[in-house]
Amino acid sequence: EAQVTQNPRYLITVTGKKLTVTCSQNMNHEYMSWYRQDPGLGLRQIYYSMNVEVTDKGDVPEGYKVSRKEKRNFPLILESPSPNQTSLYFCASSLGLADLQYFGPGTRLTVT
Protein backbone atom coordinates (compact mmCIF):
# COMPACT_ATOMS: atom_id res chain seq x y z
CA GLU A 1 0.00 0.00 0.00
CA ALA A 2 1.33 3.39 -1.03
CA GLN A 3 1.75 5.53 2.01
CA VAL A 4 3.64 8.14 3.95
CA THR A 5 4.33 7.25 7.55
CA GLN A 6 5.28 9.55 10.39
CA ASN A 7 6.50 8.74 13.86
CA PRO A 8 5.65 9.51 16.52
CA ARG A 9 2.01 10.45 16.02
CA TYR A 10 1.86 12.28 19.32
CA LEU A 11 4.70 13.78 21.36
CA ILE A 12 4.83 15.90 24.47
CA THR A 13 8.26 17.21 25.33
CA VAL A 14 9.98 19.97 27.25
CA THR A 15 11.72 23.07 26.03
CA GLY A 16 15.24 22.44 24.80
CA LYS A 17 15.11 18.66 24.52
CA LYS A 18 16.17 17.66 21.02
CA LEU A 19 13.71 15.57 19.07
CA THR A 20 13.31 14.00 15.65
CA VAL A 21 10.10 13.26 13.81
CA THR A 22 10.61 10.61 11.17
CA CYS A 23 8.95 10.51 7.77
CA SER A 24 9.12 7.67 5.31
CA GLN A 25 7.44 7.04 1.96
CA ASN A 26 7.33 3.83 -0.04
CA MET A 27 6.46 5.29 -3.44
CA ASN A 28 9.94 6.20 -4.65
CA HIS A 29 8.93 9.85 -4.72
CA GLU A 30 11.57 12.47 -5.33
CA TYR A 31 9.80 15.39 -3.70
CA MET A 32 9.16 15.56 0.02
CA SER A 33 8.05 18.35 2.33
CA TRP A 34 7.35 19.19 5.92
CA TYR A 35 4.48 21.43 7.00
CA ARG A 36 3.11 22.72 10.22
CA GLN A 37 -0.56 23.42 10.68
CA ASP A 38 -1.79 26.04 13.12
CA PRO A 39 -5.36 27.28 13.63
CA GLY A 40 -6.26 30.12 11.29
CA LEU A 41 -2.98 29.84 9.39
CA GLY A 42 -3.51 26.75 7.29
CA LEU A 43 -0.43 24.74 6.45
CA ARG A 44 2.93 26.43 6.23
CA GLN A 45 5.86 24.75 4.60
CA ILE A 46 8.92 24.31 6.79
CA TYR A 47 11.40 22.61 4.46
CA TYR A 48 11.24 20.71 1.24
CA SER A 49 13.47 18.38 -0.68
CA MET A 50 13.72 17.87 -4.42
CA ASN A 51 15.91 14.78 -4.18
CA VAL A 52 18.54 13.04 -2.08
CA GLU A 53 20.88 15.59 -0.50
CA VAL A 54 18.82 18.45 -1.98
CA THR A 55 16.85 20.43 0.58
CA ASP A 56 15.60 23.98 0.74
CA LYS A 57 13.85 26.29 3.15
CA GLY A 58 10.12 26.79 2.99
CA ASP A 59 8.08 29.52 4.54
CA VAL A 60 8.92 28.93 8.22
CA PRO A 61 12.27 27.11 8.56
CA GLU A 62 13.53 28.78 11.75
CA GLY A 63 14.16 26.31 14.55
CA TYR A 64 14.05 23.25 12.29
CA LYS A 65 16.52 21.09 10.43
CA VAL A 66 16.02 18.34 7.89
CA SER A 67 18.14 15.82 6.09
CA ARG A 68 17.61 13.66 3.00
CA LYS A 69 20.24 10.96 2.99
CA GLU A 70 17.95 8.39 1.40
CA LYS A 71 15.14 8.88 -1.04
CA ARG A 72 12.49 7.34 1.20
CA ASN A 73 13.27 9.19 4.45
CA PHE A 74 13.00 12.85 5.34
CA PRO A 75 13.33 13.40 9.10
CA LEU A 76 12.47 16.69 10.78
CA ILE A 77 14.79 17.69 13.58
CA LEU A 78 14.12 20.19 16.34
CA GLU A 79 17.47 20.83 18.00
CA SER A 80 16.06 22.93 20.83
CA PRO A 81 12.27 22.90 20.78
CA SER A 82 10.35 25.86 22.12
CA PRO A 83 6.66 26.25 23.04
CA ASN A 84 5.96 28.17 19.81
CA GLN A 85 6.74 24.98 17.93
CA THR A 86 3.72 23.31 19.45
CA SER A 87 1.76 22.38 16.34
CA LEU A 88 0.46 19.65 14.07
CA TYR A 89 3.16 18.54 11.64
CA PHE A 90 2.63 16.88 8.29
CA CYS A 91 5.10 15.21 6.00
CA ALA A 92 4.20 14.89 2.32
CA SER A 93 5.68 13.41 -0.83
CA SER A 94 4.98 13.57 -4.54
CA LEU A 95 6.37 12.03 -7.68
CA GLY A 96 6.62 15.29 -9.55
CA LEU A 97 5.91 18.97 -9.05
CA ALA A 98 2.58 18.81 -10.85
CA ASP A 99 1.53 15.66 -9.06
CA LEU A 100 -0.61 15.35 -6.02
CA GLN A 101 1.07 15.20 -2.66
CA TYR A 102 0.53 12.24 -0.42
CA PHE A 103 0.37 13.33 3.18
CA GLY A 104 1.36 11.44 6.27
CA PRO A 105 -1.12 11.10 9.12
CA GLY A 106 0.34 14.00 11.06
CA THR A 107 2.34 14.38 14.28
CA ARG A 108 0.88 16.41 17.09
CA LEU A 109 3.74 17.98 19.03
CA THR A 110 3.39 19.80 22.33
CA VAL A 111 6.37 21.61 23.81
CA THR A 112 5.98 22.70 27.42
Contact residues for another protein (CB under 8 A)? 31, 33, 35, 40-45, 48-50, 56, 58-59, 88, 90, 92, 94, 97-103, 105-106
CB of 15 to another protein, least distance (A): 25
Task: Answer yes or no: are the C-beta atoms of 80 and 12 closer than 8 Å.
Answer: no
Give the residue with the Cβ less far from another protein, 44 or 65: 44
- How many Å apart are CA 94 and CA 71, to the nearest integer? 12
- How many Å apart are CA 19 and CA 55, to the nearest integer? 19
Return the closest-CA partner of residue 59 out of 25, 77, 35: 35
Give the residue with the Cβ less far from another protein, 54 or 79: 54
CB of 6 to another protein, least distance (A): 11
CB of 42 to another protein, least distance (A): 4
- How many Å apart are CA 88 and CA 105, to the nearest integer? 10
